[in-house]
Amino acid sequence: MPSPRSLLDRVHGVVERARTVTDHPVLTHVARVGLIAYGAMHLLIGYLAVRLAFRLRGADADQTGALQTVADGPGGRVLLWAIGLGMLALALWQGGEVLLWWRGLLDRARRLRTAIVCVKCLAKAAVYALLGITALLFGVGLEYEADERLADLTDEALEIPGGAALVFVVAAGVVAVGLYTLVRGFTGGFMRDIDLPAAPDRWEPLIEGLGRIGYVAKGIAFGLVGVLLWRAAASADVSTATGLDGAMTAIAGVAAGPWLLTAIAVGFAAFGVYALARARYPDRDPSS
């Protein structure tokens, strides 16, 4: 029977080999395609939000609306497959960072910090993977509306015992994500995702400025999604359970809404440009 130390060494060897795969230059280049797609998606969301602000209704101002816009354009299906595969590669590339940090979970002194880093990596990887799968579904013609699906899921959850509590927890989680995104925007923590030594010094202030604007806008939008979901749980009215497009519509409906929504749209576009800069100078380590 192998000793615990020997077993740990074997696990470490397997992890190192897996890490080598996620560090492969081919995967890194494909992941950059995913980052470019991620940036372009935010640029499209900004464009759709501006249209919504000025009552020029088109596709929903959210991720699925952006994918629908791509699908309706020239070569849309091919582009959707490229986006989907690029986003999945990006998810694998980002998730691979956990393979570098996992040994810290065995060290009591570093366990908490390592766990936080791993959760961040896995959360990013999950978002990228979800977007990649969604793009591939659009690529094969299986389209859906994110807002409608969220409302359906909320309705189903409210019908089961304890469902309202579950929706409250999810809403609180979405609000927490929005607040975390805001904090990253205000503190500039997102710059850890840029390989600063590789980026020209003259571009760093511009990249940081665009990132700050983008993260603040996204934080506000996603925080509002959580608030609307909370209201749905409190009132049992699933019509208020909407995704990003619903939050954009809610902003457009208040006094000075078109101008507020235009500002949010500019923020999403700024984030898109930041994501393109990250594609040029990527660093997946959120603790570097």
Sequence ranges of the domains in the chain:
4-280
For all residues of the chain together, what is the average pLDDT? 81
d(CA 66, CA 266): 15
Higher pLDDT, 207 or 146: 207
Taking residues 91-109, what's their average pLDDT?
73
Can you say how many angstroms the Cα of residue 241 is from the centroid of all Cα atoms in its chain?
19
* Helices 244-252 and 257-280: angle between axes, nearest 10 degrees: 140
- Helices (DSSP H) in 140-256: which residue ranges? 146-158, 163-187, 204-235, 244-252
Higher pLDDT, 10 or 115: 115
Percentage of the chain exceeding pLDDT 70:
80
The pLDDT value recorded for residue 206 is 93
Nearest to 90 by CA among 177, 40, 30, 146: 30
d(CA 178, CA 171): 11
In sequence order, the 6+-apart residues with CB closer than 8 A to the CB of 139 are 71, 77, 80, 81, 84
- pTM for the model: 0.83
Write the burial class of residue 268 (CB in 10 Å: 0-12 exposed, 13-18 middle, 19+ buried).
buried
